[in-house]
Amino acid sequence: MAYSEDDIALAAEYALGTLDADERAKVETMMSADNDFTAIVQSWEYRLGVLNQMVGSVEPSPEVWGRISAAAGLAGPQAPLVLPEPPPSPVVPEAVAPPPSSDNSNVIRLSAQARRWRNIATVATAIAAALVVMIAVGVSQPDLLPDSLRPKPRTQVVEAKAPPASTPPSAQYVAVLQKDGGSPAFILTVDGATKNFTVRKVGAQPEPGKSYELWIVSDKLQRPRSLGVIGGSDFTARPVLSAYAPEVVNQATYAVTVEPEGGSPTGVATGPIVFTGKLIEAVPSRAPPPAPSKR
């Protein structure tokens, strides 16, 4: 039979748990009389039930088993057997690199996944104070770049493990360093609290005998300051931004120049600026999860 949206909403709210006692009784009556309606309710319960994966485990007191055993009329001894505890599952740090692949369809897929993960990450932070946050930057239109700059499809997902629950995860900032709005060449991420930054090379390859050097450019600084040579490997992480005030870090322009191999010998940029970008807040800092109502 076809169910009205009211019925479906009622089933959904039953599963969510927000109905009052009378409405719950009504749904239970409907369920006892109608298997199809029961199936709708259960489908909601099971869909939402996966949320319990996020709930922490708490041990009940040891006496509970005895009461269950008695209430269920078990014949066996009521003292619990000593059962081997399954080993705690190890928390494996997330590896950042999915298998490399060389076809471009993968880029599109990664970008769709990135959107999906941003969505999931938002909710996850609403649920837990400690979790994995994700900064995802998709590569768009790689075909517009010359071969030498064309990004090789590889992971565009940079992950940061949020600090423990006691401190709210700090904001994460991302700058996409690119040329004239073209595809990213480097992705710079900055942790709002520690100001550690990481640079991920997306596609840029320096000419032989040359290096890319990253600069922080701000009207609050007398001249661009070097943040070091980047791009020698896929991934560069440095703490040097901690020397700068937050507003400088947040509002600066980040620029990449081509320098002689090993970086500018003088501490002043000598080569052309090839990529620039500014930081945006990709993952806002989070307040701890809402405390239960004090009523």
Partner 1 sequence: MLTPAELVWLIAAVAKGDEAAFERLYAATRAKLFGVVLRILRRQDLAEEVIQETYVKIWNSAGQFNPGLASPITWMASIARNRAIDVVRKRGEVSIEEEPAAMEVAADSPDPLARREMTEELKRLLECVGRLEPDRQKLVLLAYYNGWSREQLAAKFETPVNTVKTWLRRSMMDIRECLGL
Task: List the interface residues with partner 1, window 124-143 (CB under 8 A).
Answer: 124, 126-132, 134
Contacts of 187 (CB under 8 A, 6+ apart): 137, 156, 158, 174, 175, 176, 177, 199, 200, 202
Contact between 1 and partner 1 per CB under 8 A: no
Question: Least distance to partner 1 from the beta carbon of 133, Å?
Answer: 10
- Pull the structure tokens for residue 132: 């994995």
Closest CA to 187 of 147, 258, 235: 235
Task: Decide: 214 and 230 in contact? Cβ < 8 Å.
Answer: yes
- Tell which one of 4, 35, 102, 293 touches partner 1 (CB under 8 A): 293
Closest CA to 257 of 275, 282, 240: 275
Of 110-118, 173-181, 240-248, 269-277, the window that binds partner 1 (rule: CB under 8 A) is 110-118
Task: Decide: 185 and 222 in contact? Cβ < 8 Å.
Answer: no
Q: 187 forms bridges with which residues in the sheet?
A: 176, 200
Containing 10, the helix (H) or strand (E) segment is helix 5-16
Question: Least distance to partner 1 from the beta carbon of 149, Å?
Answer: 30
Question: Least distance to partner 1 from the beta carbon of 184, Å?
Answer: 23
- Judged by CB under 8 A, the chain residues 213 through 272 that form the site for partner 1 are none
Question: Least distance to partner 1 from the beta carbon of 94, Å?
Answer: 6
Question: Least distance to partner 1 from the beta carbon of 26, Å?
Answer: 12
- Judged by CB under 8 A, the chain residues 51 through 90 that form the site for partner 1 are 51-61, 64-65, 67-68, 71-72, 74-76, 80-81, 83, 85-86, 89
Nearer to partner 1, 44 or 273 (CB): 44
Question: Least distance to partner 1 from the beta carbon of 281, Å?
Answer: 15
From residue 181, give the alpha-carbon distance in Å to each of 140, 154, 177, 178, 260.
10, 20, 9, 6, 26
- Judged by CB under 8 A, the chain residues 2 through 31 that form the site for partner 1 are 5, 8-9, 12-13, 15-21, 24
Nearer to partner 1, 119 or 242 (CB): 119
Nearer to partner 1, 131 or 175 (CB): 131
Give how many residues touch partner 1 by CB under 8 A: 76
- Per this entry, what is the length of the chain? 295
Task: Decide: 200 and 237 in contact? Cβ < 8 Å.
Answer: no
